[in-house]
Amino acid sequence: MPILSVNKRAIFDYEIFEKFEAGIELKGFEAKAITTGRANISGAYAVIRDNEVWLLNLDIPPYQPKNTPESYDSKRTRRLLLKRNEIKNLIGNTKEKGLTLVVTKLYTKNNKAKVELGLARSRKKHDKRELIRKREVEREIQKFKK
């Protein structure tokens, strides 16, 4: 399961409660571009519309720019492939608790592109500072252990 991209900013900015694995509905040349590692997931998030989950702001530049259609938009919305009960669970959580769906990883599994979605809540500024302090303390402890 090679990881192609990790959204470290989303992991820092959001407190992630639950993770889901979803497939992405792609065109052929997009799949080729993803497997070569050209996708950019910074700023990508998911939205639920009409009982379907859609992925926004996932940037997939063309694999071969001269062979792609002229009307191709690299940041187009793409449908995510999830089970019906997972979608119902996500609908309930996002509406009731005010949580959002953030993309944390992009990877391949059995030659298929997969996205790891995190059900998350935005962190406050003081929470981020506290997280940074904890990391620094962990680093100091690791230095003295060696």
pLDDT in tens, 81-97: 999 999 998 888 888 77
pTM for this entry: 0.78
pLDDT in tens, 52-86: 999 999 888 887 777 777 777 778 889 999 999 99
Range of the domain at 13: 3-145
The tally of domains found in the chain comes to 1
| CATH label of the domain that carries residue 63 | 2.40.280.10
E strands present in the chain? 3-6, 14-24, 45-49, 52-56, 78-81, 100-109, 112-122
